[in-house]
Amino acid sequence: MIERIEHIAIAVEHLDSAIDTWISLLGCDRSAVTIHEVPSEKVRAAFIPVGQTKIELLEPLGDDGPIAKFLSKSGEGMHHIALSTDGVEAETERVTALGLKPLGEPSAGAGGKKIVFLHPRQTSRVLVEFVEPGAAH
């Protein structure tokens, strides 16, 4: 079951300066920011809490990952919306039965969360991610 918007992700060229901009905009303290490297996605991700959701800033680790490709094609900007669920596999099966196509199998994301993305051609050109909290959350 979809529970809430977990985060809104923004692709950025330089994580540290983007963090400075967003904490100033949101009026929060830098100590609220958590940073994770996600080698499987070839990114460094910063999460900034905003109430029950987060802003996720994504900086590529190298030139060949999905965020690096996104930045070279589209520049900085919104990358995806993540929806929190209590079961990534169940939600993936549910939407697949409706004809929506996941981009691969569920895998490990930042902070030990289980994730899967849906193809944006079928969701009004918005990349959608399902996120299931990991054991530490």
Arithmetic mean of pLDDT, 19-25: 96
What per-residue string of b and e applies to 65-90 under the rule 16 or more CB within 10 Å gives b?
bbbbebbeeeeeeebbbbbbbeebee
Higher-pLDDT residue of 134, 115: 115
Going by their DSSP bridges, the two strands 2-11 and 107-108 should be labelled as unpaired
pLDDT at 109: 84
Read off the pTM.
Answer: 0.89
Full 3-state SS string of 74-129: HCCEEEEEEEEECCHHHHHHHHHHCCCCECCCCEECHHHCEEEEECHHHCCCCEEE
Report residue 125 as tokens: 């050109």
Arithmetic mean of pLDDT, 48-70: 95
**Nearest-10 Cα torsion for 17, 69, 76, 130:** -90
- Using 50, 70 and 90 to split pLDDT, how confident is the model at 53? very high
3-state secondary structure at position 39? coil
Would you say residue 137 has pLDDT above 60? no
β-sheet with 34-38: strand ranges across: 34-38, 43-50, 53-60, 2-11, 77-85, 127-132, 114-118, 107-108
64: left (phi over 0), alpha (psi -120 to 50) or beta: alpha
- Using 50, 70 and 90 to split pLDDT, how confident is the model at 112? confident
Percent of the chain with pLDDT over 70: 98
Sequence ranges of the domains in the chain: 2-132
- Using 50, 70 and 90 to split pLDDT, how confident is the model at 136? very low
Would you say residue 110 has pLDDT above 90? no
Task: Average the pLDDT over each of 11-20, 58-67, 72-81, 110-119 and give the range with the smallest value.
Answer: 110-119
Q: Which CATH architecture has domain 2-132?
A: Roll (3.10)
